[in-house]
A and B are shown apart, each in its own frame.
Chain A
Amino acid sequence: MTVTAVAASTAASTPWVDWSALGDILLVGLLAGAGMVAVFALGIATLSAGKRTVGGPQDGQPPGLPRPVAVTVAGVCFAAVIAVVAVGLIDLLRT
């Protein structure tokens, strides 16, 4: 009894490492993996700045932001992250 399988590629002619794919993975991984983390962190930092009492810098802290500005900017950051995730999910579902 044999189990059929997808045809094997001639491995002997292909290089040890798929450098092209690796480069793509690194690039997209950096943007989506680390880049999105940075954007999310920016959103959090903005929210935090929005919580600082408006009244100028205290204790050497950076100045706060007016609440509405902070919430808007943070919202943009989080929306960007969600958008990237959505793109990733759609791509996942298509394949």
Chain B
Amino acid sequence: MSANTVLLVAVVALALCFDFTNGFHDSANAMATSISTGALRPKAAVAMSAVLNFVGAFLSLSVAATIATGIVNAGAVTLPIVFAGLLGAIAWNLLTWYFGLPSSSSHALIGGIVGATLIAAGANAVNFHTIIQKVLIPAVLAPLVAGLIATIGTYAAYRITARSDEEVTRRGFRYGQIGTAGLVSLAHGTNDAQKTMGLITLALIAGGSISASASTPVWVVAACALSISAGTYLGGWRIIRSLGRGLVDIHPPQGFAAEASSAAIILTSSHFGYPLSTTQVCTGSIIGSGVGKRLARVRWSLAGRMAFAWLLTLPAAAGVGAGMWGLANVIGGDAGIIITGVVGVAFAVAIYAAAKRQPITADNVNEEWTDGLIPASDKQPVSA
């Protein structure tokens, strides 16, 4: 096996890009509720989340199982498939970011790899039973479990402090929010950075750069930790806005209960070996916190759009993954990789430019939600 440097470099670079998009997607999960209630100022929140993600990434020392374990035939997965799969995952992460919709980065990565494997090695190389069992069913269970626990927690929080001093309650729960949001960030760092580290390590082994029995090199850990925390700090403001303002008008007790529920479920689900997507747990918790408070309302239309996006994740990422593999394969060799990579970069630039026209930033992330992601004050006046 000769070391194909271009392909290897491309895979490592893409894996780090994926980690970056994962970072800004999931900073919303931990921090949206704290930013929305004012428990933390926007920049402070993402800074704290970035640090905790960085720490969390270094704390995870166990070698991560390949993300698609049991889903695709191990022998069929090649570096070009990983390359194309990453492109599919990144594309979906960017698209959902543009629309301000939370989305599971893990599912996107699985989808991308499945799609590329399907076109490269055929349907026999993909285990659909495992996809249903390990991806689709947990995807349905996660928000339900999270919603239930958050509903109960929120209800309890309001009942118990029903006749308490308002100021004490607000400040107390705000402090609590900082703690629970930090927990979610830490848990995310340990869980998610691992996946990319494992991917890069395996790519390096396959490329012959390190021996098969080697553990993850320190530079890989550092690079992944840096990517995820950089993405976290830059902040998926669009997603933070949807989760913090769009779904539910969140108050401190709700924010606290939501993140506590998320932290508890994320940590216990990985402990019991039945991992549930961070994104879907956190979104479900936020919805639950809206259900649990009397007179609170949930913007169910937005929740429905999010659920729809979740359903699309696997097939959409798979489609892009398959397409990218096909493109690289048709062109062939290093040129195929480079050209396909350029196509990916072009897409990313296009999305970024489109988002820049009506940006959501730390300054307008907390504006009131009137009829959509873009705050009313930012909309260009329509010329007659």
- Give CA–CA (A34, B207) in the complex, Å: 47
Beta-carbon contact of B163 and A4 below 8 Å: no
With A44-B173, A47-B168 given, is the CB distance from A5 to B4 under 8 Å?
Answer: no
Beta-carbon contact of B129 and A5 below 8 Å: no
Instruction: Mark contacts of A73-93 with chain B using CB atoms, 8 A cut-off: 1 yes-contact digit, 0 otherwise.
Output: 000000000000100110111
- Give CA–CA (A26, B265) in the complex, Å: 8
Beta-carbon contact of A38 and B156 below 8 Å: yes
- Give CA–CA (A52, B167) in the complex, Å: 13
Beta-carbon contact of B268 and A44 below 8 Å: no
Beta-carbon contact of A16 and B132 below 8 Å: yes
Question: In B249-308, which residues have CB < 8 Å from any A CB?
Answer: 253, 256-257, 260-265, 267-274, 276
Q: Is B228 among interface residues, defined by CB-CB distance under 8 A?
A: no
Q: Measured between C-beta atoms, what is the minimum distance from A22 to chain B in Å? A: 7
| Chain A residues, Cβ within 8 Å of B272 | 21, 24-25, 28
- Interface residues of A: mostly helix, strand, loop or mixed? helix
Q: Is B382 among interface residues, defined by CB-CB distance under 8 A?
A: no
Question: In A52-67, which residues have CB < 8 Å from any B CB?
Answer: 52, 61-62
Residue of A nearest to B129 (CB): A11
Q: Is B342 among interface residues, defined by CB-CB distance under 8 A?
A: no
| Chain A residues, Cβ within 8 Å of B127 | 8, 11
Instruction: Mark contacts of A24-37 with chain B using CB atoms, 8 A cut-off: 1 yes-contact digit, 0 otherwise.
Output: 11101110111011
- Interface residues of B: mostly helix, strand, loop or mixed? helix
Q: Measured between C-beta atoms, what is the minimum distance from B49 to chain A in Å? A: 16
How many residues does chain A have at the interface if contact means C-beta atoms less than 8 Å apart?
Answer: 49
Q: Is B9 among interface residues, defined by CB-CB distance under 8 A?
A: no
Q: Is B13 among interface residues, defined by CB-CB distance under 8 A?
A: no
| Chain B residues, Cβ within 8 Å of A44 | 160-161, 164, 168-169, 172-173
Beta-carbon contact of B70 and A9 below 8 Å: yes
Q: Is B187 among interface residues, defined by CB-CB distance under 8 A?
A: yes
Question: In B86-121, which residues have CB < 8 Å from any A CB?
Answer: none
Q: Is B79 among interface residues, defined by CB-CB distance under 8 A?
A: yes
Task: For A4, give its contact among B172, B176, B202 (CB under 8 Å).
Answer: B202
| Chain B residues, Cβ within 8 Å of A45 | 160-161, 163-164
With A42-B160, A44-B169, A62-B163 given, is the CB distance from A33 to B79 under 8 Å?
Answer: no
- Give CA–CA (A91, B268) in the complex, Å: 9
Beta-carbon contact of B70 and A8 below 8 Å: yes
Beta-carbon contact of A5 and B202 below 8 Å: yes
| Chain B residues, Cβ within 8 Å of A51 | 165, 168
Task: For B263, give its contact among A1, A33, A42, A91 (CB under 8 Å).
Answer: A33
| Chain A residues, Cβ within 8 Å of B156 | 34, 37-38, 41
Question: In B301-349, which residues have CB < 8 Å from any A CB?
Answer: none
Q: Is B206 among interface residues, defined by CB-CB distance under 8 A?
A: yes
Beta-carbon contact of A2 and B75 below 8 Å: yes
Beta-carbon contact of B161 and A33 below 8 Å: no
| Chain A residues, Cβ within 8 Å of B75 | 2
- Give CA–CA (A47, B133) in the complex, Å: 47
Beta-carbon contact of A41 and B160 below 8 Å: yes
Instruction: Mark contacts of B133-158 with chain A using CB atoms, 8 A cut-off: 1 yes-contact digit, 0 otherwise.
Output: 10001000100010011101110110
Task: For B74, give its contact among A8, A40, A89 (CB under 8 Å).
Answer: A8
Q: Is B190 among interface residues, defined by CB-CB distance under 8 A?
A: yes
Beta-carbon contact of A3 and B261 below 8 Å: no
What residues of chain B have their CB less than 8 Å away from a CB belonging to chain A? Answer: 1, 4, 59, 62, 65-66, 68-70, 73-75, 77-79, 82, 127, 129-130, 132-133, 137, 141, 145, 148-150, 152-154, 156-157, 160-161, 163-165, 168-169, 172-173, 176, 179, 183, 186-187, 190, 202-203, 205-207, 212, 253, 256-257, 260-265, 267-274, 276
**Given A29-B145, A49-B164, A95-B270, 17 further pairs, Cβ under 8 A:** A3-B205, A8-B74, A8-B130, A16-B133, A16-B137, A22-B145, A29-B264, A33-B263, A34-B150, A36-B264, A37-B256, A38-B160, A45-B163, A61-B163, A89-B186, A91-B267, A93-B59
28 contacts between A and B (CB under 8 A): A2-B78, A3-B77, A3-B205, A9-B70, A11-B70, A11-B127, A18-B274, A25-B145, A25-B265, A26-B148, A29-B145, A29-B261, A29-B268, A32-B268, A33-B262, A33-B263, A34-B149, A37-B153, A37-B156, A37-B257, A38-B153, A41-B156, A41-B157, A44-B160, A51-B168, A61-B163, A88-B263, A92-B267
Closest A-B pairs by Cβ, 4 of them: A33-B264, A48-B164, A37-B153, A34-B153
